[in-house]
Amino acid sequence: MAELVFFSGTMDCGKSTLALQLDHNHSARGRGGVIYTRNDRAGTDVLSSRLGLRHPAVEVTDATDFWDEVVVRRTHGERVDYLVCDEAQFYSVEQVEQLAQLVDELGVDVYAFGITADFRTRLFPGSARLIELADRVEVLQVQSLCWCGARATHNARTVGGEMVVHGEQVVVGDTDASAEVGYEVLCRRHHMRRMTVAVARAVATTPDTLPFEVDRRDTRR
């Protein structure tokens, strides 16, 4: 039976690389598929990974109707057995429901890839609906790491090098520290403290200052 599978994880955990590998494996067995993406760091109509892999893709917009897309392709004789949907956190709730309908009504396998929460630790609407509807939610096993070495669980946005927790939910950026709008993965502790790698390095230059808040209550008896 066809499935709707949501592969989730933070940035830098290899989602796009896995998406391309999955497409390769299925197409190598004679299955026909379509790759979709939205707001890829490399531009429009392309799915790219940080390892340097790139593949042409169909750009998803607010007007994209996945049901109509697949029906039109099949009507014109194209074989569509599966969809690879990268950056699925940017899809609308309605588009996720269209993907579920394709699985249930037309037997199309849908493999969606995306992050679950934004830089404010709020769920993306598309990701939330995928969690609600997916047959399976797979957390990628390749762990992103915070600068401290702990498992990264949160995505942080930086503007001009400073971490921010307010602003538009969708602003395209990358993990390049020199970018005006950038992103960084952090563990929960350092996300809550807004301690990015730049802040940690600045603190480390002062030997007498610890990279965390100290309880300064008087402990004398």
**Helices 93-106/125-133 angle, 10° precision:** 30
Told to judge if 87 belongs to the known catalytic residues of this protein, a careful annotator would answer yes
Q: Which of 87, 97, 132, 184 is catalytic?
A: 87
| Total residues belonging to the chain | 221
Measure the CA–CA gap between 32 and 30, rounded to whole angstroms. 7
Measure the CA–CA gap between 41 and 38, rounded to whole angstroms. 9
**Enzyme catalytic residues:** 87
